[in-house]
Structure 1
């Protein structure tokens, strides 16, 4: 277990932003993770958990406390059951499970970050979510001071949300377990229209597993959503805002705002979200509010490949990034009456 003091955190995040931590501990076993958490809690020291750093916005002043980098490893297949240590690199785990002929997470290829972060956000893309195949999460419960096993149902998953996100200071994910499927080398049914078009199949059909993974990687790379140290469009947290979900009255008011601004013939994106609710597109809102690809003139700008990604062009500070995010939130609210919500976790700062 490595311990450093006044340690820079920016290199541990995909934004490459943020100040130092008072103490940075790198844990490579579950026991080291639990020991570090217990020590911080006993001392009353603030604790920041870091996996792949792909969902963090850390303030320029850094973090006054213990930053725990979870670098545990472990990839275990038993038939179609997959267990991953929290520190496993997610995109590598997807590649290995696909190579083993197992379907269920192939459309989640290329998502940066660690396996332990996937249940926290209920990570999803291109028609798949981890909640659909996750069976159990092994976690340390800081309230009960013991290791617990939570079923998928107990994780209380919803769109980009879970009990871990609702109670951010309670559970520390140690292991994640999935039930994948052997479909004879084929994928799960393709649910996402863009993926189906790229594969040349109809929605609901299957395609060769590796072809699906490679197609998703190409689609993501075209939007700057696959990490590349030489491409500033990937110096981001991926999608910075979640897609808004509106009730019937809210969506009706939104449609009126769209008609007033863009014309009566313009229909905004709309997707059923259950219980009389409708999901619309944050990327569409941002673009139609005037924040197009590449927007900005400073060191933090909207990606040149995707309006939903805010990026560090190489010399940005966290305050530069937040100023851009606030400008976008204000512009969308004024144009359409919808307040966007940030997806990344903010540390020491607020949007």
Structure 2
């Protein structure tokens, strides 16, 4: 453990985020197994040191000044399958496993459930924290339980999915440091077919009608192609992928405000069909990308000095063009958020976790 700490100390966090932004941590250590991870976290807590737990860095914005504390990179590994004999398979995955590699492995085993979540960057431990979702599927539909380290008590315990408060891109674990996910358990099907295809764009790409189930490998290929076309599959040579994915979540407008918001949007845009999706209790989820574009921020919109831009493929991704700073990125994000608020009265919320930095 000490050797890992000494060799990796004072490392810049930029190389550990998909945005490639952020200053150094005071101390940087790597946990190669769950026991080491638990001890590193407990040690930092006993010493009263600030702690930043790093996964794949795909949902993280770190300040230019860096992090005054200990950064612990999770590098744990392990994937196991348990067939229950009822057509279902329980998949147990250590937090440090690359998420897309896990999806690829499940698809390779002919297991259905994860295929729509192909191409999402980051590590497995982060998936329940933000309830990752794409193309009509969320991790909450497949999650059985997680093992986590409760930093308030120092105990490791198993928590059922139903106790995690999983909601749209959120959970009780998000934006809090009170627990660290060690491993996750997922329930998959062994019939080789996907979840029912719910997302119109994906159904169109597959040439099927909504609700159909399709061989999992076919769905994975289609999802990767769709994500690649939006710059949402990591590519070291493509600055359109130097991002944190979707920077803003799709806003949910409650039933009371919804008529007024829709009227304002229709009046400002002249469009009568505002994309929206039911969100329960009369509320609606609006498309953040659609609002951003209608507020005047098109694909490729430039921030300070052209060092940051909206992706040329997808307006929800804010990208580092190679020489940006975190301050550049936050300036562009703030401009976009304020533009949408002024135009439509809708305040966009950032999806990434902001470490020692804020939107203005």
Query: TM-score per shorter chain, which class?
Result: over 0.9
2-side partners of 1:69 and 1:49: how far apart? 6
SS in 2 for 1:102: coil
Equivalence for 2:12: 8
Structure 1 residue corresponding to 2:218, chosen from 211, 216, 224 = 211
**Residue deviations 1:258-277 (CA, integer Å, cap 9, x gap):** 122112x5221110011221
SS in 2 for 1:26: strand
Q: Determine whether 1:278 maps to 2:284.
A: yes
Structure 1 residue corresponding to 2:311, chosen from 292, 303, 314 = 303
Equivalence for 2:66: 62
Equivalence for 1:97: 106
2-side partners of 1:267 and 1:25: how far apart? 51
Equivalence for 1:325: 333
- 1:255/1:267 contact within 8 Å kept: no
**Residue deviations 1:235-273 (CA, integer Å, cap 9, x gap):** 00100000000111221121111122112x522111001
- 1:258/1:267 contact within 8 Å kept: no
2-side partners of 1:125 and 1:103: how far apart? 15
| Equivalent residue pairs, number | 348
Runs of 4 or more, structure 1, over 2 Å off, are: none
2-side partners of 1:170 and 1:112: how far apart? 24
Q: Determine whether 1:127 maps to 2:136.
A: yes
Gaps of 5+ in 1: none
Structure 2 residue corresponding to 1:18, chosen from 17, 22, 40 = 22
Q: Give the CA deviation at 1:174.
A: 0.1
- 2:297/2:336 contact within 8 Å kept: yes
Structure 1 residue corresponding to 2:97, chosen from 82, 88, 99 = 88
Equivalence for 2:298: 292
Equivalence for 1:118: 127
TM-score normalised to structure 1 length: 0.98
Equivalence for 2:86: none
TM-score normalised to structure 2 length: 0.95
- 1:12/1:53 contact within 8 Å kept: yes
Equivalence for 1:143: 152
